[in-house]
Structure 1
């Protein structure tokens, strides 16, 4: 690939420091001399001074840099006074290359020449993790995945939800289902450098960053400060499937939710001598189809969850208080739940709080559904894999209460007519665990 944009020369990690009295972590970076800083606030206290908290803060510093690197995507990253083990260097390079895969694709940049310059930090024997009563922290976004995780984990551990937002800002789409759970909420404030909000004006490159990786590191720090021994994610099997292939390389919008990232991040945590918390996804070997079927039984959440892109707009004036019923995420959630929730129940979900009709009732959304089903370009969104969507449309079309949905009937006929349409045995397999996971025995689901 030939670069068609002007890249910077050097991205530099400057420094980070913590203020235990205010619970503030400040991370500083620069691109060709232009300074950037990011601030993360958590509960203040003495635990900020522990080796584990210092190690976790350093990890936040390492992964949060990606947001500022992408302003100019230079070929050289300098770590300055921050030395890296060989494991950390390999992890960080992959995090940049794979995590910025979509960014590079959209900006026509080849990042394969990326060089990370850092002093070598000798690895030390890990101290191991303390055993005892399981105390988990579950990052919570208010969608069906994190709800299913929470309802399982709470049966096996002392659990708190974890939410990151800009200081003073709260998303109703997270707060409402969090309130339904009745669980305590641990909060972190994340303030990105305001220069990023002026990217076009300042001539910065723009695009998707692996934000789940950043939030994962902040969650590890929060777990350390709260004396919790596990960060439990809700990333499913399909998050590992690339959005597309380009020039023989996978481009995955969900890289930092993938099994590859999970394994690499776990390795870095386990190797740290400070003894950092465990980290794993509760849903790694579960399909979206399996998750939707479980969620359908959690009726107390049906009136509060909202997995709509417009619910999380940074500009509050553009943020909706109801499902938009139009975006790719709305279409996917409607499709994946349609086999397991009644048409009446889903109609109520999308109509709540002044919303409109559900996406499957809108023929004009056919192109979005076809893209989910593999007949168009898969959207760069956190949506399920094509085979899961095809299974969902076939199952939903068999429901008697969906007879009056011509779009669903049309889509199901198109899928059924394909030579690679999922057979009933394949659909049944998707409703069981698939692949491997990193879930410790104490948290495991009961089935074989």
Structure 2
């Protein structure tokens, strides 16, 4: 099926909800997405033990936005003309910001699939959330529940295993630091160990297998804004594990 056929068949993409399942040794997060009429996705992200207990609204806000950047990987399969947000609330400004990120972050995808990203009807965002955040006072509407406590002045380094990771680890030698790994290769694990992170924070990102199945069936595929994903992931990790400074070279991953 081509772009127009997919949009005609799948008119809405819904960010339904997210679920947080903490335990003694890990924090599991599930995101629930749906493409109408009947395709459901349930990707997950798993953080290891050592995370702190933080304000529930702050945690929900950070996870909601991580889910939003995760959502783009699933929306692109059919490019539904409407994205419905039920998981939380977004202000008008935030909707504009996310739409801008979606369009500018999918440049390779649009080029590969010959999609006119300038079309005014490419995508519309609709908020249908009952979240209490929608009734917060000005300055906090849209789920802007910020983390207002201080974080320890230490460094959280994203390590992918390339030369930039090695340079960054050497540059911060002697500084208080920890490594953040996402679905790491052996090279990344070895580099973190050599760089002084004997027990790095290793996060698992588990893609819903239905995404790959749809790709095999001819649904749309292409690059997504992975650097933006890492930004949201590392921000959540920094708050969970108490690190003030996030260190990442653009070409680390």
**Counterpart of 1:23 in 2: which secondary structure?**
strand
Distance 1:57 1:3 in 2: 30
Partner of 2:126: 117
Distance 1:119 1:152 in 2: 47
Within the candidate set 212, 225, 230, 2:240 is matched to 225
Partner of 2:27: 23
Partner of 2:219: 204
Asked whether the equivalents of residues 61 and 145 of structure 2 are also in contact (C-alpha less than 8 Å), the reply is no
Greater Rg, structure 1 or structure 2?
1
Partner of 2:194: 180
Q: Structure 1 50/180 Cα, relative in aligned 2: closer, same or farther at 3 Å?
A: same
Distance 1:186 1:64 in 2: 20
Q: CA RMSD in A?
A: 2.7
Asked whether the equivalents of residues 78 and 219 of structure 2 are also in contact (C-alpha less than 8 Å), the reply is yes
Gaps of 5+ in 2: none
Distance 2:190 2:156 in 1: 18
The structure with more helix, counted as a fraction of residues: 1
Distance 2:151 2:191 in 1: 29
Q: Structure 1 111/78 Cα, relative in aligned 2: closer, same or farther at 3 Å?
A: farther
Report how far residue 20 of structure 1 moved: 1.5
Gaps of 5+ in 1: 237-306, 308-381, 383-448
Distance 2:108 2:228 in 1: 15
Within the candidate set 156, 159, 163, 2:177 is matched to 159
The two structures have a TM-score, normalised by structure 2, of: 0.80
Report how far residue 50 of structure 1 moved: 3.8
Report how far residue 35 of structure 1 moved: 0.4
- Indicate whether 1:14 and 2:16 are aligned: yes
Distance 1:196 1:34 in 2: 10
The two structures have a TM-score, normalised by structure 1, of: 0.47
Greater relative contact order structure (CA < 8 Å, 6+ sep): 2
Q: Structure 1 153/130 Cα, relative in aligned 2: closer, same or farther at 3 Å?
A: farther
- The number of equivalent residue pairs is 232
The structure with more strand, counted as a fraction of residues: 2
Distance 2:52 2:147 in 1: 22
**Counterpart of 1:225 in 2: which secondary structure?**
helix
Query: 1:34-55: CA deviations, max 9, x gaps?
Result: 1001110113566266433222
Asked whether the equivalents of residues 4 and 108 of structure 1 are also in contact (C-alpha less than 8 Å), the reply is no
Asked whether the equivalents of residues 77 and 117 of structure 1 are also in contact (C-alpha less than 8 Å), the reply is yes
Within the candidate set 128, 141, 154, 1:135 is matched to 154
- Indicate whether 1:74 and 2:80 are aligned: yes
Within the candidate set 150, 153, 167, 2:169 is matched to 150
Distance 1:160 1:214 in 2: 20
1:28-427 matches, within 5 Å, as: 28-32=32-36, 33-44=38-49, 47=53, 50-112=56-118, 113-118=122-127, 121=134, 123-124=139-140, 129-131=148-150, 133-155=152-174, 157-165=175-183, 170-183=184-197, 184-235=199-250
Query: 1:101-131: CA deviations, max 9, x gaps?
Result: 1101100112332211125945328766544
Query: 1:292-344: CA deviations, max 9, x gaps?
Result: xxxxxxxxxxxxxxx9xxxxxxxxxxxxxxxxxxxxxxxxxxxxxxxxxxxxx
